[in-house]
Structure 1
Amino acid sequence: MARNVRRRDVLSGIGAAGLASTAGCIGGLGGGGGGGPDMLTVVGYPEDGIQLFRDFYSSYSDDVNILIPDGLRDGDLPGQVGNDMSNITGTAPAAGGPNQEAFQSLYEDEYGESPGVFTTQSYDSVAVGILANAAAGENDGTAIRDQMRNVANPGGMEVGVENFVEGVEAAANGEDVNFQGSSSSVNFDQNGDPASAAYAIWEFTEGGTETAEVQQFEGSNPDGNGPSADEIPGGMGREIMVGILLPETGALASTGADMINAAQLPAIQVNNADIDLEVTTQLEDTETNSQSGVAAANSLVNAGFPYICGSASSGVNVPVSQEVLIPNQVVGCSPSSTALSVTNLEDDDYIFRTAPSDRLQGRVMAQVASERLEAESAATLYVNNDYGQQLSNRFSSVFEDEFDGSVFRQVAFNQGESSYSSVVSEAMSAE
């Protein structure tokens, strides 16, 4: 049986380098002292997480281990919930690219603060879109699509944050470039997903969150290349158009603000440089809502934008892709939509992302649950959409099949409820 040990007491004073050796030595909780699961996995968004975690702590001890993914990484949550949430371990796609430090310096110089979650992926999404547009030589979605792997995958001049403008000029001059991102190397597999990714294991701290460890993982199809154009036409003296479709309001507003800042940086770099190219961007708010997201995407398409950075959540990204981007032959590149359903879209190769699929994150979470938290049994609470259901299913199957764990139950919850006490109780009850 997993031991009753508070995670923060164990982690205190251990640096990131030393954390790897503690895996498997940090006790989880027999969360249901009356026979309930050892731990709880929660998949959702901060807006609903506030009430959900309030209801959890009103009925259960804060010694119960809880595991959450990137969707709930919001440093304001503990203050809003009224608990330090020190029993929570998180996982999230991390900044593991060769240019992460250069990106951080650029972001801090421009905005005077440190970048938040999914900011590296947002920068990379816009940067690769600008490069592909420069290589295509026209504001045409199909032409840009066919240059995505030409500018991102190996071969040609290496381009990063510090020499980004030089790389845009090179692509516009018909030269082969290889974008090296801040989130990853940004090599797209045959599905348009990252071929590799870094994941952070993190925790809440006073006033924010803190990464305890970062690990590199391979994606689902690391050797898949996908289609690309045989030539790079390029062209100077023109406008490059990039739409930004991210949440200013709604459940992901707190995350979206930093993502929007990061997404605007590549355009700022080009427009501040003395080159014969200009980048035009237009921001539209998804409101973290599928209907609003579709309307916002249509606004960008009707304005002539052939490439869109977005959207953020899979519950918005899937309908936006199916109803707007794919039919209009517009390239979409999400920096944070991670659901498996995005990989499986019949998209004619118009849909990419710089965030890795939840197929990978589900495995990372199962490994953390088993080896770091020493849980032998779990239950999941998940938001009732593609993101929540698919990540819950993936975590559960890997936890059981690869780590010999038991998942008592998977419990869905709806957004916007006034109370989550009943679903918390259902998840934490005995098998």
Structure 2
Amino acid sequence: MLVSRASRAAIAAASAVLLLATSACGSDQPEEANTDTQVRLYGTDGNMQTAYAVELRERAGLLKGMKGTIPLTPLPESFKERLRTVDPKLTDYLYSAETYDAVVISALAAQLAGTTEPTEIAKQIVGVTTGGERCEDPNTCLRLARAGQDIEYRGVSLNRAGFTDAGEPATASYATLHFGDQKIDDGKTEFVGAGDESGASTKEPPRGRKPRAGKKGDGAPLVIGGLLPKTGDLALAYPPLAAGAALAIREINAAGGVLGEPVAWVDGDDGTNPETAKATVASHVANGVHVIIGAAASGISRAVLPDVVAAGRILFSPSNTDAGLTTVDDKNLYFRTAPPDSLQGRALADVILRDGPRKVAIVARKDSYGEGLQENVRAELERAGFGADRVRLLTYEPPADTQAVDFSASAQEIKTYGADAVLIIGFGESLKVITDLADAGVTLRH
């Protein structure tokens, strides 16, 4: 949590009291476990989307009643309508706003830097979100930046506070989503804020460079490359990410572009796979890309970041949540618009505790994202009084290529353990966890 050290102990104590006090929210009393140990399912941003149900086809009913959290700001209907002009088939909006903001912030930073040199752009990125004249759209913000005016961008996802010194949001908004009949029931969505506005950076960025009349900025045009999951375990999340990036590029260029020229976009796949992502990064570097938007998964960003840094480029992810990335050695070239999981762990634990479970199983994808968030949730449950005998931690290896996850043995372990709450932290591949639970005779509560 991004707060001062002096307040951490007090916040931890207060959080434990709050979580215990809210364990009965949504009903007058915590629900008593059924004798057949019915299990409630919970999810995270990697699996709380309608496309997840579509993949289950005739077994989509297994998801009914599943709920979980995702980093999500209430999205204006006008923003959704603009996204649908890019992709009329869009049904999910997960990380679309974060992607849009990442592209816009990159463009504004380049305009203020007066150059497409990535290290100079990087020096402006945090400052674009703090301490200047507030603006909320590319047209207004670019006009101010062209005049050399310090700005404070407030976009769709970044609307409460700016970035920390580490280049990530100081605050976050989370949505609690509920699966209804084979899709997310938007009518039940709830929003809660997290983080501390005082964590935003107070450092002064370099003074913006006002271009001379008739002169373009150094190195224009600005070239931005995608490193998004067109394929792989996170392919379900690709449409809203791609739509957010495309909308941002379109609106930036409609506002006159950056440094006197339209911003160029170079598409690229991260494949939810380190080898695929590394190949894309190498291609982007060879093609003169200055800023890379992605990767989608935290583990993929960790894998490619050394290559990006060595090439002197910027990696700007709209969806990385691994808390460990806050302190990664990035030579100040890594940024993200998604909040770290240290904030989401508390929100997830609260959602689970509201239903009054006796035993909780936390199933996580075995990578930095899955195991990191698993530990954050476990720690929050511990603060709420759940000892080791009431929480079971399990992991699974992410599948290689088209291989499916085999969770059958762990499903039997959960059944024997008697968990009445199962949190699943994973991507599209985690569907197999749910079907294996059902096939093991675990009764899923709807």
Query: Structure 1 unaligned runs (5+)?
Result: 1-18, 35-62
Q: Deviations over 1:162-216 (max 9, x none)?
A: xx12312321331111111111226111221211111000011335213420111
> 2:173, 2:136 → 1: CA distance?
18
* CA distance in structure 1 between the aligned counterparts of 2:32 and 2:276, rounded to whole angstroms: 41
SS in 2 for 1:232: coil
| Residue 405 of structure 1: how far off its partner (Å) | 5.7
SS in 1 for 2:302: helix
Identity, in percent, stands at 23
Contact 1:366 1:398 (C-alpha < 8 Å) held by counterparts: yes
Bigger drift between 120-129 and 291-300 goes to: 291-300
Residue of structure 2 equivalent to 1:193: 168
Corresponding position: 1:308 with 2:292: yes
Distance 2:310 2:194 in 1: 33
Cα offset for 1:418? 4.9
SS in 2 for 1:375: coil
Shift of 1:312: 0.5
Instruction: Give the match's secondary structure for 2:184.
Output: strand
Partner of 2:123: 146
Match of 1:255, SS? helix
Q: Does the Cα contact within 8 Å between 2:270 and 2:276 map onto a contact in 1?
A: yes
Give the structure 2 partner of residue 89 of structure 1.
67
Secondary structure (helix, strand or coil) at the match of 2:167 reads: coil
Question: Which residue of 360, 372, 393 corresponds with 1:378?
Answer: 360
Equivalent residue runs for 1:351-366 within 5 Å: 351-366=334-349
**Residues 384, 273 of structure 1: alpha-carbon distance in 2 compared, 3 angstrom cutoff:** same
> Paired residue for 1:343?
326
Match of 1:415, SS state, is coil
Match of 1:106 in 2: 82
How many residue pairs are counted as aligned between the two chains? 377
1:69 partnered with 2:56 = no
Shift of residue 403, structure 1, vs aligned partner: 4.8
* Amino acid across the alignment from 1:106: R
CA distance in 2, matches of 1:106, 1:394: 36
TM-score, normalising length: structure 1: 0.80
Q: Tell me the amino acid that sits aligned with residue 167 of structure 1.
A: C
Counterpart of 2:361, as a letter, is A
Return the TM-score normalized by structure 2.
0.78
* Root-mean-square deviation (Å): 2.6
Which of 184, 195, 205 is the equivalent residue of 1:218? 195
Query: For residues 131 and 32 of structure 2, what CA distance do their matches in structure 1 show?
Result: 46
Q: Following TM superposition, by how much is the alpha carbon of 1:239 offset from its aligned partner in structure 2, in angstroms?
A: 1.5
Structure 1 115/388 Cα, relative in aligned 2: closer, same or farther at 3 Å?
Answer: closer
Call closer, same or farther: CA 1:155–1:65 in 2, change over 3 Å: same
Query: Which protein is richer in strand relative to its size?
Result: 1
CA drift of 1:328 comes to 2.5
Q: Distance in 2 between matches of 1:369 and 1:241?
A: 43
Q: Which residue of 1 aligns with 2:417?
A: 430
Q: Indicate conservation of the 8 Å contact 1:100/1:183, yes or no.
A: no
SS at match of 1:389: helix
Equivalent residues of 2:168, 2:339 under 8 A apart: yes
Amino acid aligned to 1:119: S
- Contact 1:242-1:305 within 8 A present in 2 as well: yes
CA displacement 1:335-355 (0-9 Å, x = unmatched): 111011211201222111111
Using a 3 Å threshold, how does the CA distance of structure 1 residues 380 and 207 change in structure 2: closer, same or farther?
A: closer
Which runs of 5 or more structure 2 residues have no equivalent in the other structure?
1-21, 419-446
Q: Would you say 1:297 and 2:281 are equivalent positions?
A: yes
2:5 — aligned with what? none
Q: State the AA in 2 paired with 1:392.
A: Q
User: After the TM superposition, which of the residue ranges 99-108 and 133-142 deviates more from structure 2?
Assistant: 99-108
User: d(CA) in 2 for partners of 1:280 and 1:132?
Assistant: 15
In the alignment, structure 1 residue 326 sits paired with structure 2 residue 309:
yes
Q: Is the 8 A contact 1:118 1:335 kept in 2?
A: yes
In structure 1, the residue matched to 2:184 is 209
Q: Are positions 1:117 and 2:94 aligned together?
A: yes
**Equivalent pair of 2:229/2:269 in contact (CA under 8 Å):** yes
* CA spacing shift, 1:319–1:32, aligned 2, 3 Å: farther
